[in-house]
Amino acid sequence: MKRIIQTIDAPAAIGPYSQAVEVGDTLYISGQIPLDPKTMKVVEGGIKEQTLQVLNNIGAILKEAGYNYSDVVKSTCFLSDMANFKAMNEVYGLYYSENPPARAAFAVKELPMGVLIEIETVAAK
C-alpha cells in the first residue's frame, strides 16, 4: 500500500508528481530543487545556498513522513555543472556527517527553472 506525503513546508510539486511516496518502510522523495516553499521562487545565491535550500526541503518532507536524515539510504544529486561538485559537497556533508547514505552525483544538460542542483532521496526505517 502506498501513502502520498505532502507538506506545506516544502515546495508544492510543479508537475504531475507527489513530493514523496511511502511504500512499506521506504520513502521515495521526488527530486527537490531550491525553491522557497513560501514563495515558490528559486532562492538567491549560488550552489551553496541552493544546496542548503534543497536539503531543507528534503528535511521538511522527511519530517512530515516521520523520518529524519539518518534514515536516508540513497541520494542522487543532479548538478548543472560539475564545477559545483566541491561546494555542493561542503553543504551536503553538514547534513550527512556520520554514516552518509549511498550517493550518485552527476552533471545534466539542464534542470527545471534553471537551477544549479536537484536531489532525489530514498529513506528507509
Contact by Cβ (8 Å): 60, 52: no
Domain ranges across the chain: 2-124
Pick the CATH number of 2-124 from 3.40.50.261, 3.30.1330.40, 3.30.390.30, 3.40.800.10: 3.30.1330.40
CA distances 40 to 8, 24, 25, 82, 104, Å, are: 11, 30, 30, 26, 27
Q: What is the DSSP letter of 13?
A: P
3-class DSSP state for residue 105? Answer: strand
pLDDT, one tens digit per residue, over 55-80 is 999 999 999 999 999 999 999 999 99
Tell if the pTM clears 0.85, that is, is over it. Answer: yes
pLDDT tens for the chain, residues 1 to 125: 899 999 999 999 988 999 999 999 999 999 999 999 999 999 999 999 999 999 999 999 999 999 999 999 999 999 999 999 999 999 999 999 999 999 999 999 999 999 999 999 999 99
